[in-house]
Copies of this chain bind each other. A is one copy, B any other.
């Protein structure tokens, strides 16, 4: 992650500072500072490594061992319409939702996928294919929408569905699919559909509807609800997502998509995800905290640091959304949302992503979310060191904004 620029700084330090052995320590300190100053901080992707310390503390208490003879077959469960889903994973998914109270699981079909990206495509297919229309069904989402929806929808220029942009501006007749992310990525708002027209179909992407990010006010009860371990437990490398689906025909079509697209989902990842969810639901060993207690405190601390740093911003040049207190049924207390992303806004006419880039903080600019360049999304999900470097650079970023304004 070191830039070439940084290598030059270190090299010139070597020639000028290493005059005596006693200088070595001073050099070390100097070069660490240089490294920190020059290091690119990547807060663009939502790579959820923020709970690593928790899993390290759990340590040997959580391991998954798979022998060579296990899980040879494509099949995992002849009784489920999702024939490639490990029964243990389905069971743990239902237990966790019942414990957290964030989604209705009774009489729902569970469909496992290779992350929620694949499940979005599976759901688009399941809703659009049976209509057998001559033209693709429009797919919309309200701005600011998740930046990957357009490319996921139009990946292979499907004749079944087509990205049509901002749901607020959608005015066509006929069938359409609205993608509703709640809490929303990037801005953390709780959301419902906005088009609300006849022949509308809705996919609810609830990846962030977990107590570390937002108050759990009631169990979601939508037709198609998508979740992922990436954002729930932080295990993005596993590529495990799941859908809770009311209509059996839709669930079967989603399974069909995953069957043709990837012939199912890794059994290793499913078995490990089941073990992880089980640990979260069933217990805490004596020396570790409850996962949601820990993860909630990580997110709350980061948001407090960010709000504190922005409050020093007398000119009010940089904003993040405010969230009202809501009673969280899981935490049994009134809590604020601490979203996975900070949706930053500066005065119009300034390219915020560019300003952040100048200070070597990589973020995702507003345009990717259907908004103006005065917005940028900053991931709050990265490693602590990266978040701290961002905090260190924030005063300089505010200075740059003041001079650009």
Contacts and interface: CB of A to CB of B under 8 A. Distances in A.
A218 to B, nearest CB: 30
Contacts of A234: 72
B65 A63 contact: yes
Contacts of A157: 158-160
A136 to B, nearest CB: 8
A237 B263 CA distance: 9
Interface residues of A, number: 65
Given A117-B262, A239-B264, A268-B268, 12 more contacts: A59-B69, A62-B68, A72-B234, A72-B236, A74-B237, A151-B260, A156-B158, A157-B158, A158-B159, A237-B268, A239-B265, A269-B269
Interface in A255-284: 257, 260-269, 272, 276, 279
Copies of this polypeptide in the complex: 2
A69 B56 contact: yes
Interface in A150-168: 151-152, 155-161
A151 B236 CA distance: 29
A169 to B, nearest CB: 24
A21 to B, nearest CB: 35
A63 B272 CA distance: 14
A118 interface: yes
27 contacts: A45-B74, A47-B75, A49-B73, A55-B69, A59-B69, A63-B67, A64-B65, A64-B268, A65-B65, A68-B276, A68-B279, A114-B265, A115-B262, A115-B263, A117-B263, A118-B261, A125-B156, A152-B260, A157-B160, A159-B159, A238-B266, A238-B267, A239-B266, A261-B261, A265-B266, A266-B269, A268-B269
A52 interface: yes
Interface in A197-220: none
Interface hub of A59, A71, A157, A159 (most chain B Cβ within 10 A): A157
Contacts of A125: 155-156
Interface of A: 45, 47-49, 51-52, 55-56, 58-69, 71-76, 114-115, 117-118, 121, 125, 129, 148, 151-152, 155-161, 230, 234-240, 257, 260-269, 272, 276, 279
A397 B65 CA distance: 44
A76 B118 CA distance: 20
Interface hub of A67, A76, A262 (most chain B Cβ within 10 A): A262
